Structure 1
């Protein structure tokens, strides 16, 4: 039942679900195998694994060091490769404090020699937990022999995440001087930073530099530039780059989503539809859930209710439907003024899924805007 404390007419923005810009992630532990990762997570629900024990401590202010100490005190193994994967899993779950504790425990208690990847990820975690100033202090104490591409790349990423443009540019220049700019990774960090800060004039010169240096861009490189064209409503620039991408690289579904959104903002629905169709054909594997949520929104923006329901039926075949899926479908139907359909989806959600105030609130606001206060009240009282 939805609690009465919900404000009937408070609008809750969904945000831009179709944004494809993704923050660059340094591959700190590129040598880890899939088997090692599975050894950490396959029995994560069991209290007899270290990962399982750590999962019980969700409060970041509660130290997990006693758990680590107890684990080895019981004579259990704590190999460096296992701990590295453990840190990755905690970091992926945004448990940065605990990931940093494991990293520091590795060297302080286990006396393990840190590899460049270990140092890089600790630098990243210090920035997230204690701030940029502490990360800089840590960097200044890193031995020169460990300051390779991964460590400088991590520092560059820290500056980019904090939108510290001058420092990011200085580190980028330092990496160039040291010969570390031989891949697209640092360039992608700077491209994303310039795009996020609205400095679109910097993007072409940076991509030109990559070309002159013989550095091949990847999908992230081109998608970042494509997104900037779309944000600036530069349809001609977007179309030229998309043609180049189709000729030179393997275009992913994100690129066509960006193009479709650009056309929709310009009111060019007839050009948006082929882009959405191309995007849908490229959706694969684990990305299907998120991709279908995006496609629901796009088809709704084009006023195509039949396609919205078709994508929803595909979505349901994936397996369990989470809150974001229901929210995407309900918001799409509200956009199409199909309130009866939206309420049916809400009823389905209300029976199956954990509470998320955004979902009933979205439908409540839709009823309020239509003056259907009785319908809105029925949602509130369950």
Structure 2
């Protein structure tokens, strides 16, 4: 459960449509955006420029507002490479002029795709000669600040923040919220308090985001007294709309601070605040997750029964329920819900069977996990993500020979956007092959992974060097773990960072 408002970039609906395209038609779509999504069978590492140029060669046009919207949707699906490529094509091939928002968006994308050094170079370039000159205003400075926060570069962020103050770019709440997010993630609660005091001294009012960061920060330090003060402010302050989402957020914060009974009370209040059918569906998914986190299986099933009455089912709802039952150690219940999903899903989502595969492996039920993956394959639901999950399970629990065979199977399948080879699993497989003297087999595995687009070319080179003992293991594993702070508990990377990026870009 995330501690910040819903993420505008994590477009589940958009990505569901994307998945549907992969499994539906082979005909050439009429929409340019659909063609972009299907480029290279959905492989995010395949260039989309040929698709864009073909569209123009067919005598079709495309306006800048459409391209800007395409970039936004690609960011929602976390296809940052394609979003950046489209941004560069928009101003290069199409010769569209850039706004401050376009520059900010590109800065954020460069940071995600090429790293901070290239982002710094681009930021420096917008003050020099060329088309981007004159765009180093508050919005672009804010985008760079967000990049530093996204990469957890405290010193750079603090220096830029002070420079923004000198330029008069810190008159509102957004820059402060960006820095508060950084300090929260770095567990620097003292700096959070100092920054909040500075906001008060300067007369800069808070918003709901500010209060949520504060509540999350106090929850991390289990300061229940301060949490109650913030909670009181959230309920009494007209700035913060305490709807069901606000109470769900607060409940999760109190649960993390060990106040389970208080959290359950807040979840009850959240349920009473739900309005509207569509809102009810999303709210129930949150409630199921949090009741499971609080260990209340009875409430999980009660909310699930209410959810099913809505009649509109989504993969996300099933994923939510199955993952909750796995957390509650109810594997049998998870299997029943998964069978229900299998009998009626519209779009196959590999994340759902992956939940059961991980659960089986954690219980030592490896044959059951393998049989499940094979059954999915035999029924036409073969997917790289399920084989990868099985390989990770084998490797994690010391069955490396089986992990190698499973990894080979996964490597032979087409790449899927959003799924990544776990570097630690791949390292384990390569080590096993090297110890067996099968260096040729290690190279063959890397060849498959590279051909199918599972790893970038530069990463393939690093792993090839690792096979020869020329690359340290730490550089392969730590690089993946630190990639944009994915997987942080509490205030999630995507939640805070993407909303921040959208504000500046």
Give the TM-score normalised by structure 1.
0.79
Q: Find 2:66's aligned residue among 79, 82, 86.
A: 82
2:306 corresponds to 1:314: yes
For 2:246 and 2:343, how far apart are their aligned partners in 1? 36
8 Å Cα contact 2:288-2:320 kept in structure 1:
yes
Q: Which residue of 1 aligns with 2:450?
A: none
Q: CA deviation at 1:351?
A: 2.4
Change (3 A) 1:207 1:25: farther
Change (3 A) 1:160 1:68: same
Q: CA deviation at 1:280?
A: 2.7
Q: Which runs of 5+ in 1 are unaligned?
A: 1-17, 27-36
2:297 corresponds to 1:298: no
Secondary structure in structure 1 of the residue aligned to 2:181: helix
Change (3 A) 1:94 1:381: closer
For 2:177 and 2:275, how far apart are their aligned partners in 1? 24
For 2:370 and 2:93, how far apart are their aligned partners in 1? 58
8 Å Cα contact 2:3-2:252 kept in structure 1:
no
Secondary structure in structure 2 of the residue aligned to 1:153: helix
1:2-59, Cα deviation, whole Å (9 max, x unpaired): xxxxxxxxxxxxxxxx232469989xxxxxxxxxx9xxx9xx9982221122111122
1:251-299, Cα deviation, whole Å (9 max, x unpaired): 3545433443454456544322221122233456766555433311332
1:44-59 matches, within 5 Å, as 47-57=29-39, 58-59=42-43
Secondary structure in structure 1 of the residue aligned to 2:235: helix
Q: CA deviation at 1:220?
A: 1.2
Q: Find 1:277's aligned residue among 268, 275, 278.
A: 268
Aligned pair count reads 346
2:226 corresponds to 1:251: no
For 2:71 and 2:166, how far apart are their aligned partners in 1? 31
Change (3 A) 1:206 1:347: same
Secondary structure in structure 2 of the residue aligned to 1:75: coil
Q: Which residue of 2 aligns with 1:185?
A: 174
Q: Which residue of 2 aligns with 1:155?
A: 144
1:226-245 matches, within 5 Å, as 226-245=215-234
Bigger Cα displacement from structure 2, 130-139 vs 209-218: 209-218
Bigger Cα displacement from structure 2, 258-267 vs 142-151: 258-267
Secondary structure in structure 2 of the residue aligned to 1:81: helix
For 2:286 and 2:148, how far apart are their aligned partners in 1? 30
Give the TM-score normalised by structure 2.
0.61
Q: Which runs of 5+ in 2 are unaligned?
A: 128-132, 376-505
Bigger Cα displacement from structure 2, 232-241 vs 336-345: 336-345
Superposed CA RMSD: 3.3
Q: Which residue of 2 aligns with 1:11?
A: none
Q: Which residue of 2 aligns with 1:349?
A: 341
Q: CA deviation at 1:155?
A: 0.5
